[in-house]
Amino acid sequence: MTRVILVGSGRMGTLLSQAIEADKDLELAGTYDVTNVSELDDEAPAADLVIDFSNRDALPHTLAYVRRSRAALLLGTTGFSEGELAEVRALGEATQVIWSGNYSLGVAVLRHATRLAAEALPGWDVEIVETHHAQKADAPSGTAEMLLREVDPAGERTVAYGRQGMVGARPKGEVGMHSLRGGTVAGTHEVHLFGTDEELCLTHRASSRQIFVTGAIAAAKRLVAREPGFYTFDELMFAE
Amino acid sequence: MTRVILVGSGRMGTLLSQAIEADKDLELAGTYDVTNVSELDDEAPAADLVIDFSNRDALPHTLAYVRRSRAALLLGTTGFSEGELAEVRALGEATQVIWSGNYSLGVAVLRHATRLAAEALPGWDVEIVETHHAQKADAPSGTAEMLLREVDPAGERTVAYGRQGMVGARPKGEVGMHSLRGGTVAGTHEVHLFGTDEELCLTHRASSRQIFVTGAIAAAKRLVAREPGFYTFDELMFAE
Amino acid sequence: MTRVILVGSGRMGTLLSQAIEADKDLELAGTYDVTNVSELDDEAPAADLVIDFSNRDALPHTLAYVRRSRAALLLGTTGFSEGELAEVRALGEATQVIWSGNYSLGVAVLRHATRLAAEALPGWDVEIVETHHAQKADAPSGTAEMLLREVDPAGERTVAYGRQGMVGARPKGEVGMHSLRGGTVAGTHEVHLFGTDEELCLTHRASSRQIFVTGAIAAAKRLVAREPGFYTFDELMFAE
Amino acid sequence: MTRVILVGSGRMGTLLSQAIEADKDLELAGTYDVTNVSELDDEAPAADLVIDFSNRDALPHTLAYVRRSRAALLLGTTGFSEGELAEVRALGEATQVIWSGNYSLGVAVLRHATRLAAEALPGWDVEIVETHHAQKADAPSGTAEMLLREVDPAGERTVAYGRQGMVGARPKGEVGMHSLRGGTVAGTHEVHLFGTDEELCLTHRASSRQIFVTGAIAAAKRLVAREPGFYTFDELMFAE
């Protein structure tokens, strides 16, 4: 039985808490959010794993607890500075650590398949299309940018958005990026690769945030069975 | 047997000529292109129908022949001035006339279905996505603009291209327009309509220019059976 | 303000009740389910509209109330006998009545667009694909069968399911029907029409049952503004 | 400069011959078909590579030439017996040999991505959908069966075709297989993987047989640069 400390709040906090309680291999040792995470400094319960889906303000308390207890750490918070990320990474020398901005298993496979396809089909034209609900405030989505990095790890290619009034052929190597917005769509990402007389399209369609919870729990279970180290989601979920 | 004069050249001229010859109801009375269409002024063969897929330079000769002979006229040329179009339209008082920029039956149904859907679902968010080969020089495609007019006949809505770096929710009523370019794609058009918890997507996929020929021939056969008048492709193909 | 009596229970009953209360034009005059719908016989509140999404056992009480009060009737129950349906239909002589097995606006537009396309493209090959969650017990879905009737109103065509081990070309006029099952998909329906070198695909994607509620409420508002008669969902939502 | 002997005829033979002549790294040393391939036994030109896309009758002559000359061998013919395949495989001890039933680069990536996804998402429901022109005589397609083997290498799962009149939930582990037929579609293959609240769809769309030629030429170039051995298309195209 793996004892889990959860740091998180809001919708994701609730979903994670429910998932931990429903899982026969996991036991909830304590739940914290940004307002009381400092309690971890003094009188924290014993735990094998900390799951932190809160925000960067909680980070010092989470890291201190992990450093002391050598509990494994699964981090889902984003927006860290480079220095903070380095600190997280360094903790991998003492215990098992994973940080990811997206714990969806399907998105991870999409990323992996995108890298595979882009490497195997270097001359093919690539276009990325993402669709989200009308209220989403930014474009393109963070996941679309992750997919762009799979296509272009070196960040060397130009990116075309929408192509209004384009004159002339598509520049070779350009990557197209298109953000559709409408209704209540939870999130769809498509990577199109176009060759001569053939086309490959890799699509992921989410219908709720539950998928991030499911993926985080699956990653957590693999994490606690590993040696100390800093792992990517891909390493935990796909490597031998 | 309908006798046909064909004015056209290039790939479309060849395909039309082959299609007319292969059709048991049609007989090719003569073939002209821009270089010799003036021969129609003097010694033109008798015909029941003129099909003109050339360019605006041929128009005076084509119109003069039709005016004299009262042959029906199917016009597939684009780029006319308003004055030229008015002249074409006026000819509908004397004989059967149709002009369209796209004789694909499937695209016509897509346009019709788009109008139907946009009218029936007035509050839904609309996004148009078109995909063409990497060599296509303009964006968005003419057909995508036709689809936009079906969604927004009054031309009142703002159009968003790609949405790079958008901040804030999608403005209500906005229409998104996205041009994918890659490989050798002959032409795909998608109209997405997004409501609350549901989505409609109307897609047309072309794999060759043969479809424009097939549609023009089908329209021509319906045209010659009608009363004099200026018809749209929709009126001929869908109305009772 | 339209006063509404709701007969229904379960998830759909709750969603309908919430939608009526949230609507500024509607007022909930009373809520019943199968266990107490007989109360409508004696001491029913005054109402302009009855919405019945329960089951056939409630029908006699609902019909008796409507007959007496001349309230409009929106019926979403399925599984009626021919005799029961005839009774519902007959009530259209006295008041406004609508019965439909699917009040999704998007599905209605899909059906309408399917009929439009099938009529406009009579020689094209049609294949229907529906996708639902892994727990759905029947195949094909009722909505897929509605779509089949749009393609083939006379019920004259043969239907091919899956085509395992087919030998020889696809029989002309055959309609293909394919039921995908997996995960938690709420419901996707695709109608593919294939011509020579072109293809039309009409897709509806639902992500929750809320869409049936939204459509029923929209239909109800149009119903109460009409003359007495038995209406289809299409007549209310699309006709002038 | 790689000197190539081509054994092949028909449409594929012509396309291969054109591709070899257009390639600056390849030189056509001789072209044979089934009627004259026996000439290879006597007076064959020197060559570094034999490309055989003919049929099994040519095999003895092709193999004898390769055995003698130690030229590399790219084989695209299908329908071999187990004994013939063993002979081909054995030749890998002397020179570089590849045999594949499908040299499309895009299909290879689809297969690879399918294997990746099926392994990474073991509990997800899988459905395979393939679409081909109305004249295709068999179903499912050979490529769809290749995809099925990627999903289920051990051949342990049951396969459901179409699911007509299914009663009850989808059996866990079942794979759905759906063959759409219509129009002139060159070939589309989709692998759908359904999880809880998310879905992955991998699609390949071909628009001509040119893709098999392009892939065979690319594989040939990699083959001649390798050590002797029997290679799969995947090993040549994707492995380090």
| pLDDT tens digits along D4-50 | 999 998 878 999 999 999 999 999 999 999 899 999 998 889 999 99
Poorest-pLDDT segment among A77-86, A187-196, A211-220, C211-220: A77-86
D221 part of the active site: no
Rounded CA gap, C4 and C8, in Å?
12
Query: What is the identity of the amino acid at B147?
Result: L
Examine the pLDDT at B165 and tell me if it is beyond 80. Answer: no
Examine the pLDDT at A162 and tell me if it is beyond 90. Answer: no
Q: What whole-number percentage of chain A has pLDDT above 70?
A: 99
Examine the pLDDT at B136 and tell me if it is beyond 70. Answer: yes
D61 part of the active site: no
Pick from A166, A184, A194: CB nearest B138: A166
List the domains of chain A with CATH numbers.
2-103+210-238 (3.40.50.720), 105-206 (3.30.360.10)
Cβ atoms of B180 and A129 within 8 Å: the answer is yes
Residue whose C-alpha is closest to residue D181's, from C148, C169, C181, C152: C169
CA distance to partner chain D, nearest, from residue A207 (Å): 5
What is the pLDDT, as a whole number, of residue B78? 75
| Structure tokens given for A130 | 């993402």
C-alpha distances out from residue D58 to A57, B51, D8, D48, Å = 72, 51, 9, 19
Minimal Cα distance from D207: which residue of B?
B207
CB contacts under 8 A, A 139-198 vs C, are 184, 186
Cβ atoms of A130 and A180 within 8 Å: the answer is yes
Those chains having 3 or more beta-carbon pairs within 8 angstroms of chain B are A, C, D
**Mean of the per-residue pLDDT values of chain C:** 92
Q: Is C131 annotated as contributing to ligand binding? A: no
Number of other CB atoms surrounding residue B31 within 10 Å: 18
Rounded CA gap, A168 and A136, in Å?
32
What phi and psi values does residue B170 have, to the nearest 5 degrees?
Answer: -65, 125
CA distance to partner chain A, nearest, from residue B70 (Å): 41
CA distance to partner chain D, nearest, from residue B107 (Å): 16
Residues of D in contact with B188 (CB under 8 A): none
User: What mean pLDDT do residues B147-151 have?
Assistant: 96
C61-103: per-residue pLDDT in tens?
999 999 999 999 999 987 788 899 999 999 999 999 999 988 9
What is the pLDDT, as a whole number, of residue C72? 98
**Mean of the per-residue pLDDT values of chain B:** 92
Q: What ipTM, to 2 d.p.? A: 0.80
pLDDT bin (cut points 50, 70, 90) of residue C56 is: confident
Residue whose C-alpha is closest to residue A239's, from A217, A211, A219, A212: A219
**Mean of the per-residue pLDDT values of chain A:** 92
What is the pLDDT, as a whole number, of residue B162? 81
Residue whose C-alpha is closest to residue C74's, from C15, C133, C6, C129: C6
pLDDT bin (cut points 50, 70, 90) of residue A240 is: low
CB contacts under 8 A, B 32-51 vs A, are none
pLDDT bin (cut points 50, 70, 90) of residue A137 is: confident
User: What mean pLDDT do residues A188-213 have?
Assistant: 94
What is the pLDDT, as a whole number, of residue D106? 94
Rounded CA gap, B175 and B160, in Å?
6
Rounded CA gap, C86 and C68, in Å?
18
Helix orientation angle between C210-224 and C10-22, rounded to the nearest 10 degrees: 50
B56-94: per-residue pLDDT in tens?
899 999 999 999 999 999 999 877 888 999 999 999 999
CA D30 to chain centre: 24
Using DSSP's 3-state secondary structure scheme, residue D233 falls into helix
Pick from C124, C138, C197: CB nearest D167: C138
Bridge partners, D49 (sequence order): D4, D72
Rounded CA gap, B75 and B54, in Å?
9
What is the pLDDT, as a whole number, of residue C240? 53
User: What mean pLDDT do residues C200-216 have?
Assistant: 92
D124-135: per-residue pLDDT in tens?
999 999 999 999
D161-178: per-residue pLDDT in tens?
988 877 789 999 999 999
B98-129: per-residue pLDDT in tens?
999 889 989 999 999 999 999 999 999 999 99
